[in-house]
Structure 1
């Protein structure tokens, strides 16, 4: 991401006298500059609850990406500034990798999923950010479906082949297909293909789009579709079909499963996405904590990071933002049912030995919608229209390659880093 650079003096005027006055009044505070918890109610909860017992004085200020990066980059250009701690999504932090201090000595990282710790290195040997909070997609099942699991299958370590067998068992033994998928017009089906199927079968999202592994993944999904509820092409969210028992097993974003879990907490279980030949692909929406090289008080900022990663503060952050902890902690009984049910699945998914995160696309700008459409079109042609997998992947790969070159977007995980546009083989 590129940001317009202006002389520091001009930017100080742009920030306004109020910001200058605030910075002066809180000269000894750590300025926590965040793109997260921007709604007014969330800001209030973070200030009054999450940061209540901070070991250092904190000034928590949120902003949208534009103003956020304008100020950050101005301070970095000037070589000094007042921002002490950054809170932002992985993609945002990755745009300033070289400007972030090494946090490897922070013991809090040891409590985080190894897959997330690796992401926090941003392709370097240093810990550029500490994984702070996450949201994601998981699987859900009505407990009625559990007796039909394949023999010997562990629901928390399921493979896609086992999911197909399970779905087949349900279809054949309960009177019809019971697997559900959000394939409706507003369903998040593209995120499944990008962050789950491709990392699990090709260890890639972009580069290996037309590989033999990708072909195997699409063939698996074609088989799964045979046992998928016929109304899935109209399902935008899976909570209602789960609640009314149209489907017994489903995949969706945690926010789009919550109503079912809250309405019938005793009827459902949540569990990690299945794994394939190249790992257990999953798509985390991951936010991190980073300290810019221009931070006026690194020691104070490090104390704040350590505080924010403690179990009780991670839980307070969950209550304030609805983002889940990145550390493995027990969820209290007074949390909403949807939180209690999904928390364990989220933790097991991120902490699995074969975890293979496929991150949200980065650097596509206005072309993000066209990027998503490549995966939707592939699904519609391969799965719904029954066209030959290899031929479709070859054609769609050409479209994807042109799009990546137009965006000049470098690769992101699980693809290997690239100089310039992420290649499509």
Structure 2
């Protein structure tokens, strides 16, 4: 596997996988009554207590002055910022969140950071991330901070079961299915593929950001298309070659490490421990590609400034400091978030992180890469949209329901939700308001 050098690579933890350390609309209020002082960095990221404390240490080492780090769940985060800006009583100076947290606040609740980004020079952010930071306008509303995605993790001995001529770093979905099928047969007809289908697993991201974009070119508008029928028929066949207890797996690294499976797909943060004991016996690889390209979901985080921030000048300095390669490498070392800027990765990284870095970079730079995002602008209603994907999976893949009838029924549910919310589509679907299934 080629060494990793001077590239933008990624690794991160989804805000949806952990609870907020200080949730609800009382987050900043609670901070003010617990001894906080200085500039406030209000964020949906690093919400577990240990991660938040490590990041506070990074702020102390990388930023001049006193910066307090306060976390929140995504829904209350957006509500609180809007409320404070509308009231002219903003308490946070720096904001941190995923694209879906920040983009809906653009052009009204965030400060234009075009000049700040220009002043930082060419730090090597991928062009597609800078485009997302503009949120459909000509101005920059946040500075890309960190990112994450999902990849394949497998024991090296499974590579002997790849179909003839297949490259594990450039698999099609058909080759992926052939691979796990051959590995199952070689394992006494016992499946070896693990997928995160547990109660807290992220299997819905597989359909949202990978399978459907790769087969249909979209996520929502194409939900009931002929290509979508093909995608779900494929998924049903793939599931027949999946470890049955995948419906209990929240983190695929656990069955992989325990030997219950030898091939898995999951979020990078939920795979990193699988190769820990014997890294030389594992590989990480990009997700497969389909007829429309290599659809992959990127979890991009950014740093912004709310309109009317009490310490905007200080906030700009904080964002500039955290954009430096040295600061981003410290985040990598302490909290396993990979830089979004161009850096030389240190040689003492754990093998698992290096393997993930290589797999994700191959995924991002694939010539037919098709970027998909988690739902944007839905806020507290995301769970309802996610339920449509989960219910579709339950009906088609687990219960064996008719694919066409299921997609028609679930599309009506999806359209009802999106019409009620009145939200525009997000990548890879074309922009439009309201977003709806065609």
TM-score, normalised via structure 1 length: 0.82
Aligned residue for 2:139?
A: 126
Tell me the CA shift for residue 261 of structure 1: 2.0
1:141 CA drift (Å) = 0.7
The aligned length equals 405
Whole-angstrom distance in 2 between the partners of 1:239 and 1:332: 24
CA displacement, residues 76-134 of structure 1 (integer Å, 9 cap, x when unaligned):
44679675432222122112110331435255665123332222221222232221012
The corresponding residue for 1:8 is none
Matched, 1:283 2:297: yes
* Structure-2 residue corresponding to 1:175: 188
8 A contact 2:148–2:298 mirrored in 1: yes
2:44 corresponds to which of 21, 28, 35: 35
Aligned residue for 1:289, secondary structure, equals strand
1:101 aligned residue:
112
Distance in 2, Cα, partners of 1:364 & 1:17: 27
Compute the displacement of 1:142 (Å): 0.6
* SS of the residue 2:276 aligns to: helix
Provide the residue aligned with 2:98 in structure 1: 89
1:146 aligned partner: 159
Q: 1:5 is matched with which residue?
A: none
Is the alpha carbon distance of 1:83 and 1:143 closer, same or farther for their aligned partners in structure 2, counting shifts above 3 Å? same
Matches within 5 A, 1:320-331: 320-327=334-341, 329-331=343-345
TM-score, normalised to structure 2, is 0.79
Moved more, 95-104 or 297-306: 297-306
Name the larger-Rg structure: 1
What's the CA shift string for 1:193-243, capped at 9, x where partnerless? 112112222222222110122222222223323433344344443223322
> How far apart in 2 are the matches of 1:190 and 1:172?
27
Distance 1:132 1:378, change over 3 A: same
| CA shift digits 1:119-178 (9 cap, x unpaired) | 222122223222101233221111111222233333223221221222233234443332
2:213/2:370 contact within 8 Å kept = yes
- The answer to whether the aligner puts 1:59 opposite 2:67 as a matched pair is yes
* 2:319 aligned to which of 294, 300, 305: 305
1:406 to 409, 412, 420: 420
Task: Could you tell me which runs of 5 or more consecutive residues in structure 1 were left unpaired when the two chains were aligned.
Answer: 1-13
Higher RCO (C-alpha 8 Å, min separation 6)? 2
- Conserved in 1, the CA contact under 8 Å of 2:123 and 2:342? no
Where do residues 207-246 of structure 1 align in structure 2 (5 Å cutoff)? Answer: 207-246=221-260
Deviation digits for residues 237-292 of structure 1 (CA, Å, limit 9, x no counterpart): 32233224332211112233233222332221112211222332223332101234
**Structure 2: any 5+ residue segments left out of the alignment?**
1-27
Separation (CA, whole Å) in 2 of partners of 1:343 and 1:139: 12
Structure 1 residues 69 and 401, CA, compared in 2 at 3 Å: closer, same or farther? closer
CA distance in 2, matches of 1:184, 1:42: 24
